[in-house]
Chains A and B, each alone.
Chain A
């Protein structure tokens, strides 16, 4: 932390290491289980995307009909991978930033298992024909209460840690973490109660569901990823965050704007007319926190370009921040009046969700995993080549899916709006974009296979025993060493070679 610590640097490092070790079981579980779920989600995504352009693919199996496998893919991606990666991130960040070891690791791990179990049963339930038919809430109704309860158990300790944090300045990431931990249960509980609990107007149930889908992205995944990005970029480069004012602008603009967004997915429906257009305006305005955070973080990272290239953490995190900026641009583009009516019922919505969840959140989560796992397992990553393959395949894949789906959606929309043409014209427009999407998902599945294997090996304590981090630079170029690691070949068990406390 930036405040002066009365501890010596070694004791400080030991405390941090102790915090890491106290969290090793729950965090490692969340990350590894999340990565496994990501593989499942990607596999389901390939199957579902293939069915859009080749409807006969695997069509003898009722469990794999498009209407079941597509929701299963999304639910696995969001609740299996996204939420668990987020939980690991939030719990670890709050512990480190509050400088408290975790004394409830067993409880958090148990809650994590309950979450996992619910999601597993839920996804199986969807495939077996028990889907509720509510987008992103398709898991059968029994699932959401255990999920909410396990979230409460997971997050409560972090709140306690925040409360007992040492006095002094609160780093911006802590505010984002706290906000995410408060927003998620509020959004999750109210949406599920209004849709599955109370019986009300079927139209408002659909509207609240649309609000939920947007709020989950902007009020849970986004603040989690931003918190991680602020922490990682600052920590690994050692540079101060570029602008405190931009940090505050970024946070409060997100808090004010994001809760209004979402109902633009129902523009034109017989609900109060101002709601969808207010939602569209709010989604457009999400570009403001995206710009504020993006500029802030990229300016910070720009001061240490070599570190960004060499560090796996920073490569992924900075790529994620760029993903955030692209998401902000997509928010503006897809919601202005002429485009909204065209893109409303097309692949664009899916492409946008993939951009936000994979292109932004997941990249930052990968950065977080590459940072945290060596610390909690006391091993270094085995192979920089595996990391590089993961990185490049992910970038190619997500750029393809996001661009193709968003652009293809607009093309689809143009066809739909051409009402004088027969419907088959519009329907066929989706075809090439669906093919490109399937191929991109295959890239992403490959990248994730490498990632999951790598992570599993670390989990099995088969990582590299070293104090020398695994970096991505080319070994023969002399400049892998900086003052921290010393010249290549130096064993650094004692910490930084000669430089004293930091």
Chain B
């Protein structure tokens, strides 16, 4: 509770006690008026001051003004009637203040809850300076500085581990609770929690550029990008308040005049003025105005806890309308890591062939070369290899153990005039020739992620109508992967430019309401990510380019997160629509009842405060997305 809230609470209690005890004190006339006015001023003086300032600043349609008019009006009527019934005016002011107090408390509380949830900001870094460890602000650590992270501490800055082994809890970043092992030489990103061993880290970034700062910045600013629903509400509120005030004036003036002149009966001015005042009290648009941004804020906060970063309320809204999901194959549905699948037609032992291939490719860092080296699995003795020529796009020629080895694709074999045996397996084929004679081929292929199939099915469950896969790979590989996963449509052998074109084609062929999401790994598909209605980058932990280009960032590379993100957005938008319909609906019904004289000030208070409280509580539900 803030100081302001405490003060208000004391005022509320004093006024409530005064009001109740005054009911038991039989006083009349001026004394009665003075006593009640004292209670009224205790609870409402600030509202009166604000209303006065509002009039001075020509802001006459704000809440304080409405409340001041309504309560002063009620007091005026009580004096006019000589009924001395001031209780209602004070009760209205009292309940209004209770409502305001609750709103401020609830919003403050949820703001704190959500911020705590996203609290991955490290408070300090243990900097090694002149051999001693010093606790400093993470901002002070320069690039290349050495920091120590003890077990239980957050990694404050991105860097490379230079000493120590440990397991890391990345759940604050990815929502994944399985710990990750880390050892010397590994890159480490900020925001992870070190669980077991002491780690010495050489920083590679400043704090401001580190993953944790970027994520915080992104989530904090997300609610500044307003969704259409939010814009609708603020426009609505701008028209609504003057309209309601006009309605109240009409309600106060028109029926009495009609009664007096057209029907010829008593005007009953006080009844109609009273109704108009009640109408004003019931009309406050607060429930809407507060609950919609709060729902989005809670939704974005909940999603970030699950490792789904949504860059704005507008993207959350678009995501919920997604009907087509387009995948990039490599790195998204597959691991992007090649593995040896088979060795065919080998003229020697398979291991020997692989050894030759791995040695010949030892100087290359191409993913294919690396996968061959990995499959070979033994230490590569570079002294056995010399005379390496890389023929770009075709393969490598090298001398290994004194024999001439050529390793490459069909084109290389044709180039060298070596007759090769084409392969019927699906995958990337690497032929090997030794001393100009064909020696067999190795089939390698990318591995489909274990969750991909389930992820595609989950998307269908989440209401996605069409799944599409784009790839630069050959048709046979693409068809096989798509068939395995249950993807509806495949486009293969695409260059990066073609991918943009295909996405544009898909966007043209759909209706405007169905949105298209593109899922990529963010590495070379930035143009596609930005062209799609919504770009989702996955496996983005530590990749600045992906965080930059995409609208939604999945912190780890689990494709199941895509359907999760869509479900979270749907839940959040569901709550938003519930609140819009509920708040506007109840409000209109209450206004109607009040105008017809079927409901009094009490219902008006409910329409103002009750609806707001219910809407705020409903909005908080958007935060809970763990089991969705």
Q: Are A and B co-members of a single complex?
A: no
